[in-house]
Structure 1
Amino acid sequence: MSNVYVMDHPLIQHKISYIRREDTGSKDFRQMIGEVAALMCYEATRDLKLQDVKIKTPICEMIGKELSGKKMAVVPILRAGIGMVDGILNMIPAAKVGHIGLYRDPETFEPVEYYCKLPADCGERDVFVVDPMLATGGSCVAAIQMLKDKGVKNIRFMCIIAAPEGVERLQKEHPDVDVYVGALDEYLNEHKYIVPGLGDAGDRIFGTK
C-alpha cells in the first residue's frame, strides 16, 4: 500500500479512541472530528512545495519560506464529510470548498449522486476529498471519478476510519490517488459497517438516527 498512509501520531490515535466511544455525545463528537481532520491535514500536507520569500522581522531582513502558490480545495462527501471541513480550513484558510452529495442504495450498497457543486477553477487545484468513513469504497470511488471527469488531476482522499475492503477498492480503481487514513480497522460486517468502527458518522455528527 505504497500510496496509503495510516496515521500513527499519538494525538490522532487518542482522539479517534474518544470518538469511537458510544457514550460520546454529538457536541463532543463534532468537535473531535474537526480536531482529528486538522491533525491529519497537517500530516497529509507534509510534501507541499515551498518557495523563498524575502521578509522583514523586527530585527532585520531575511529569506523565509512560504507555500509556492499551489491552490487547494476541500471537497466533502455529504453529509458526514462536512464534519471534517472546518478543521482543515483552520489549517488552510485560503482553500475553496466544494460539495459532492452521494447516498448509498440500501439494496445494492452502491452510491447514487444527488448533488455536485465545485469551485469554478477546481481543475487547477490540489483537491482533498474528505469523508470520515471509508467502508465499501463505493462513495469515494464515485466522488473521485466525478472530479476526474471535471478535469481535476491532483486528488488526495482523507478519511478518519477505513475498512481494508474500501482501501483495496479505492487503490484498485484510483491507484493515482494518495489515501490518508486515521485508523485502519478490521473488516466490514454483513450490513457493510466498519468493525469496530464508530457507528454512523453522519448520525453522530448531526444527532440524527
Structure 2
Amino acid sequence: MTERKTSHPSSVVVLDHPLVQHKLTRLRQKETSTAGFRRLTRELSLLMAYEATRDLPLETVEIETPLEWTHGHLLSGKKLCLVSILRAGNGILDGMLDLVPAARVGHIGLFRDPATLEPVEYYMKLPEDIGERVCIVVDPMLATGHSAAAAIDRLKHAGARQLVFVCLLAAPEGVAFLSKAHPDVKIVTCSIDRELDDHGYIRPGLGDAGDRLFGTK
C-alpha cells in the first residue's frame, strides 16, 4: 500500500493505492445505491485496516509446517480494540472485523449540534483493558475534527495510550484541528478534500455517510 504523508504535525497517511482511489470514486457518486455504498465502504475498510495495523508488534514463534519446523511471526500482546463513533462508524467497523475478527470493540455515541457544530456525547462502552490495546478509532468523515478529538479525549481519559484515527474522507480543517489537539494520533484517510462548507460538510465529499449507509435519507 503506497502512502503519502502530509506536513501536518501528526502523522497523516493518505492512501493513494489505485484500488482505494477507484472504490472511493465509486463511493462518492450520487447514483451509488445504499447496497453499493455499504459494499464499497466495507471493501475500503479492509484496505484502510491494512495501513492502520502496519505498526502492530510481532513476536517470533516456532511452528511445524507439513514439511519441517520453522520460525514465524504472530501478533504480540493484547492486540487491538476497534472503536466506532456512532452511528456511521459502524460501516467501517464491520469491514475491519472481517480482517481482525478477534479484536475487541468499543462504541462512542456522539452527534454534532447543528447550531454550534460541537459534539454531544450520548453513549460510551469500552473494553476494560483498553489501555493494553492499540485503539483504532473509526468514523467515515473527519470534517471539523471536533467529534474525533472529543472521542479521543474520552478514550485517553479511559486509559487508551496508543490510538489511530481512520476515516474515508478528511477536510483540511479537520486534519489541522485533530492534529493540534492530539499530535500523537496517526490519521489514516483515503483523501483530504478541498474544504468545509458553511454547514460543516466536506466538499466535494460524498454527502452524509450515515444516511447513505443506512438509507435514512
TM-score bucket of the superposed structures, by smaller chain: over 0.9
Aligned residue number for residue 69 of structure 2:
61
Q: Does 1:125 align with 2:133?
A: yes
Contact 2:56 2:79 in 1 (8 A): no
Of 74, 83, 88, the match for 1:75: 83
The amino acid that maps onto 2:133 is R
Aligned residue number for residue 6 of structure 1:
14
Query: How far, CA to CA, are the matches of 1:136 and 1:207 in structure 2?
Result: 24
| 1:39-188 equivalence runs, <5 A | 39-188=47-196
Query: How far, CA to CA, are the matches of 1:19 and 1:52 in structure 2?
Result: 40
| Structure 1 stretch displaced more, 40-49 or 15-24 | 40-49
Normalised by the length of structure 1, the TM-score is 0.98
Question: How high is the sequence identity, in percent, across the aligned residues?
Answer: 57
Query: How far, CA to CA, are the matches of 2:128 and 2:57 in structure 1?
Result: 23
3-state secondary structure, aligned to 1:157: strand
Query: How far, CA to CA, are the matches of 1:71 and 1:131 in structure 2?
Result: 20
Of 38, 42, 47, the match for 2:46: 38
Deviation at 1:90, TM superposition (A): 1.3
Deviation at 1:69, TM superposition (A): 2.4
The amino acid that maps onto 1:79 is R
Contact 2:52 2:136 in 1 (8 A): no
Cα RMSD over matched residues?
Answer: 0.9
The amino acid that maps onto 1:197 is G
Q: Which runs of 5+ in 2 are unaligned?
A: 1-7
Deviation at 1:45, TM superposition (A): 1.4
Query: How far, CA to CA, are the matches of 2:14 and 2:26 in structure 1?
Result: 18
